[in-house]
Structure 1
C-alpha cells in the first residue's frame, strides 16, 4: 500500500510495512518504490521497511526542482524525520545507491549500515543510452516513446535482446517499466533533470570514491550482477577496494537488477547482513579525525588533493 506525506509543500509517496529496525529502500532513476514491492513483505518480517518514491518519480510530485544526489539525500532524511525514524539501514539501487552513500556522508549519525546495489558514482562508465538521453533534445527523443506503436516496438526490441542473451537483455522487463514511467511531459522533464545531475555525454559526472574512506566503521555490503550493462561489475570491485571493511556479493547471470533476478538470495543476504552486524556508532571525534587525515591512499599531505584529484574535481558533487 502506498502512503503519502507532504514535505516542503510537495507530496511524497512511500511504501511502509513491518516492525523492527528501520530499513530504507531507495530505487534508481526512472523507477519507483514499486521495484521493491515483491521483496517488502519478506523484509518486513524483521524490519520496518520504508520505500520512498523519490521526488520526480512514481507517485511523488514532479516539480521543477533540485534533483541532485544531495537534494535526494535531504529528501530521504526529511521523510524519515516526519515518520519518526531517527536512524536506519539504507539499501540503494543504481542512482539510489549514490543517494544512500550521499545520505551516509551527510548524515552519518543517522546511518546504521549501507547496502549498495549496482550503485552509481564509482566511475565514469555508464550505458551509452543514458549518455545519449543526457544530451540536448532529450525531451523530444523521450516524447517519441509515447507515439502509437512505440511501446510495442520497444517491447519487441527488449525481447530480442533477451533472446540474443545480451547483457542489456537481462533487464528487458525493466526497460518496458521505464517507458511506462514516462507518460507525460512532467515525468519526462523530471527524468531528464535527474539524469543530467549525474550523467553527461562522457558518462557519470559524480563520484563517491573520494569519500569512501569515511565509511570506516560502517557495515557496508555491495551487491552486483556480473552481467550489469548499466553500471559494469568492475565498479563493484573498485568500490570494494575503496571502502574499508566492505563485503561484496556477486549475482551470477544477473543484470542491473539482481534483486529481481534472485529475490530470495537478495532478501537472505540483507537479513543476514543486518542481523550479523552491529549498527555503526558515529563519533564526532572519529569523523573529525577521518576528515582531517584524508584518504589513506591520497599520497598527499592531509587536506591537500593529489594532482589527479584536482583534474577530476569538476566531476564531483561539491556538496
Structure 2
C-alpha cells in the first residue's frame, strides 16, 4: 500500500496516497467510518486512482494514526481535516465520506462551502439521533474486541455475510486493542451525538452531492437519506441487496456510480 505519514496539529497521521497516471488529476479524499481505517477502501481505491489522485487518511483517533486524550468533538475533527488538507496541498478536492466520515464530510461542506468540488455521502451518520441494534452490536465489538464479537458485528452489518473476511476481523480486533482506541471510539460517539444538528444547515451546501445507501442497511437505515436531500444540488442512489458499506460489499457497483457522478465516466478503465 502507498502508505505515508504526516503531522497534523501535532498528531502523527497515517494515510494512503495513490498517485494517478493522469496528469493534473483531481484530488479525491475518502473518509472512513467510526472505528474503521483506510483499509476499508482497499477494494475501490486502486481503480479510482486511474482517474484521480486518491488520498485515504486514518482519521485522527482511528486506524494507525495517533489517538490523543482529547475531546473528539466535530470541531476537533474539522480542525484536523483542515490541517490534513493543508499539509498535502489539497485545495478543492472531491470528497467521499462513509458513515461517521459522511457526517464529517457534510459538516466540512457546511463550514467550508467553496473548498469542496463534489461530495458523496455513503450511508452518512449525523441524522440518526437514536441507536439501532446493529450499531449497539458494533459498539460492543469495539469495547470488547474479540474475534467472535467483531465477526458477528461485521456479518450483521452486511447484507451478505460471506463478504466478511478473516483479515478484516483480525485487523479490527488488533486496532481496537491499541492504546486509547476504545477511548477515541466512545469520545467520538459522544461528539457526534452532541454536535450541531445537520438538519436546517445542509441547505447551505453548494457542492453537487451524491447520497448513496444500501437498501438493506440496518446500521443506519435508508429512511435517513431523506434528511440529506436537504442539500440543494443532491441526488440519491439506493443500491439493492447491500448493507452499510457498498464499497466493501459491491465495490464494482460503487465505483461505477462514483465515477459517473464525479467524472461522467460510464465505463471503468481496465
**TM-score under structure 1 length normalisation:** 0.72
Q: Which residue of 1 aligns with 2:263?
A: 275
- Cα gap change, 1:170/1:113 in structure 2, threshold over 3 Å: closer, same or farther? farther
* Contact persistence 1:171–1:256 (CA under 8 A): no
Structure whose CA Rg is larger:
1
Q: Which residue of 2 aligns with 1:79?
A: 84
Secondary structure in 2 matching 1:267: helix
Deviation at 1:123, TM superposition (A): 2.8
Q: Which residue of 1 aligns with 2:43?
A: 38
Secondary structure in 1 matching 2:131: coil
Secondary structure in 2 matching 1:51: strand
- Cα gap change, 1:109/1:185 in structure 2, threshold over 3 Å: closer, same or farther? same
Q: Which 5+ residue runs of structure 2 have no aligned equivalent?
A: 266-270
Match of 1:121 among 126, 135, 153: 126
Q: Which moved more, 1:175-184 or 1:81-90?
A: 175-184
User: For 1:244 and 1:261, how far apart are their aligned partners in 2?
Assistant: 29
Q: Which residue of 2 aligns with 1:255?
A: 243
Q: Does 1:110 align with 2:118?
A: no
Deviation at 1:142, TM superposition (A): 5.3
Q: Which residue of 2 aligns with 1:224?
A: 213
Q: Does 1:208 align with 2:209?
A: no
* Contact persistence 2:213–2:237 (CA under 8 A): yes
Count of matched residue pairs: 258
- Cα gap change, 1:144/1:30 in structure 2, threshold over 3 Å: closer, same or farther? closer
**TM-score under structure 2 length normalisation:** 0.85
Q: Which residue of 1 aligns with 2:95?
A: 90
* Contact persistence 2:210–2:235 (CA under 8 A): yes
The structure whose RCO (Cα within 8 Å, separation 6+) is larger is 2
Secondary structure in 2 matching 1:112: coil
* Contact persistence 1:171–1:257 (CA under 8 A): no
* Contact persistence 2:95–2:120 (CA under 8 A): yes
Secondary structure in 1 matching 2:224: helix
- Cα gap change, 1:160/1:190 in structure 2, threshold over 3 Å: closer, same or farther? closer
Q: What does 1:57-206 correspond to in 2, within 5 Å?
A: 57-128=62-133, 130=135, 144-145=144-145, 150-151=146-147, 153-154=148-149, 157=152, 178-199=172-193, 206=196
User: For 2:31 and 2:86, how far apart are their aligned partners in 1?
Assistant: 16
